[in-house]
Amino acid sequence: MIRYLLLLFYVPLLFSKSINYGVINKHAYVLPKGKLHVKGAYLKLNDTLDLLNMRQKELGSRNSSLSGIGDLNGWEFALQYGLSTKDTIVVNYQRWNIDYGDSKLKNNKFEIFNRYNIVASDYAFFNAFSIDVGYIQNKTTPIDIKRDSLLNSILNKIKPNSGISLHDGDIVAGDTTISLYNDNGNKIHPYASIENLSSKSYYARVLLAKNISKNSFMDFYLSYINNSIKTKIALYPQNNSFFNSIAQKYKIPNMNRDEHIVNAGFVYMGQYKQNYLFEFNYEYNRIFRSKSLSANNTSNTIEAYISRRIGKSFLVYVGGKLMMQQFNTDLPYLYNKYTQTQFDKKYGFAKFGFIYSY
């Protein structure tokens, strides 16, 4: 009889080992020593893969202004390795290709962190307690804005009511229209380039796991994040003296900045019919910036996935991510003094992937 009672106590811990298959990597449990997991995923947003009809509601006018964010496709690859009975190291790389104005924003995200487990016990109120220390880098190639409506939107935000606009590559000031030509007699079309878009983040995260039943448990986490962000907008052509004299009126200030984030959330994970797992994550961010960048200092994110095990070592999953304030924390360099009022729109994408265990 005692043996069977002990078995019941051990069921939650045995189920908690399935966390090693978790898609959302914000759990207090660590991998066993020497265990290696390989993760891959495909990300997509278009008319067919439209989470909660979000694209139709939020992106219908996405081409009318600089803030327009359109379709997305991308991929993700990650490795998790159990360094010891206490340490797991995680390396993650993601590529997001997002329609952005006239161009495609190609963001490369690299993340590495170490998870150290301090407590793992069946009998404590919280069954696991861990700390993550990590680094994230986001970087994209320059984005050229050449469409007149977007250029005029930028110029108006830099210097409202200036009386100067662009039309078919011409500079229009009141009743005067000016065209620019190079030495070969070819017409020059002014454009703006959003350059050096990048961010570096260092963070520390505390995680607590609580077994809810023999088939489910929750993790709670709290993080501190320090972001260093670089953003530069330049107007071209820069080798034309006449255009340079006009561009001086639109001198763009240094937009590099540091910001601090307090991040909190929870993850629920449940097992159904032995081979199916369900995960749900809610996350809240409070961002501390300068007063000139205070339009949207919070963000809310939701993720959910359904996974199916195939054998002992393979798992496939489907789900998605919904960001209630676009990329306010995911791509922090997109937020600046000229775009800050645009981050009240939703954005999300579907995600399909696998996890293989060695």
Q: Is residue 148 part of a domain?
A: no
Distance of CA 36 to the CA centre of its chain: 25
Q: CA 196 to CA 192: how far, in whole Å?
A: 13
Phi, psi of 299 (to 5 degrees): -150, 150
Q: CA 105 to CA 195: how far, in whole Å?
A: 11
Alpha-carbon dihedral sign for residues 26, 340, 351, 227: negative
Phi-psi region of 62 (alpha: psi -120 to 50; beta: other; left: phi over 0): alpha
Specify the pLDDT at position 6: 36
Q: Is residue 170 part of a domain?
A: no
Specify the pLDDT at position 177: 83
Specify the pLDDT at position 7: 37
Specify the pLDDT at position 132: 97
Specify the pLDDT at position 356: 92
Q: Is residue 150 part of a domain?
A: no
Q: Which residues of the chain have pLDDT under 50?
A: 1-19, 52, 54, 58-67
Specify the pLDDT at position 64: 40
Q: Is residue 175 part of a domain?
A: no
Question: Which DSSP state fits 49?
Answer: S
HSE at residue 339, side-chain half, CA atoms within 13 A, is 23
Specify the pLDDT at position 152: 80
Phi, psi of 242 (to 5 degrees): -65, -45
Exposure string of 206-239, with b = 16+ CB inside 10 Å and e = fewer, is bbbbbbeeebbbbbbbebebebebbbbbebbeee
pTM: 0.82
Q: Is residue 136 part of a domain?
A: yes
Q: CA 306 to CA 318: how far, in whole Å?
A: 6
Domain enclosing residue 28, as ranges: 2-140+198-236+252-357
**Residue 306 and residue 276 in contact, taking contact as beta carbons nearer than 8 Å:** yes
Specify the pLDDT at position 68: 52
Secondary structure class of 340 (helix, strand, coil): helix
Distant-in-sequence, close-in-space partners of 22: CB < 8 Å, separation ≥ 6: 267, 269, 277, 279
Q: Is residue 340 part of a domain?
A: yes
Q: CA 239 to CA 237: how far, in whole Å?
A: 6
Distance of CA 24 to the CA centre of its chain: 13
Specify the pLDDT at position 57: 52
Q: Which two tokens stand for residue 93?
A: 């790389």
Number of domains in the chain: 1
Q: What's the chain's Rg over C-alpha atoms?
A: 24
Amino acid, res. 17: K
Specify the pLDDT at position 160: 78
Q: Is residue 258 part of a domain?
A: yes
Residue 281: give its domain's CATH number.
Answer: 2.40.160.40
Query: Where in the chain does DSSP place strands (E)?
Result: 36-45, 69-82, 87-100, 103-120, 128-140, 143-145, 164-167, 170-173, 176-178, 180-181, 187-188, 191-213, 216-236, 257-272, 276-288, 298-310, 314-323, 347-357
CA trace torsion 232, 237, 240, 246 (10° rounding):
-60
Q: Is residue 187 part of a domain?
A: no
Specify the pLDDT at position 259: 93
Distant-in-sequence, close-in-space partners of 211: CB < 8 Å, separation ≥ 6: 12, 13, 15, 16, 122, 127, 217
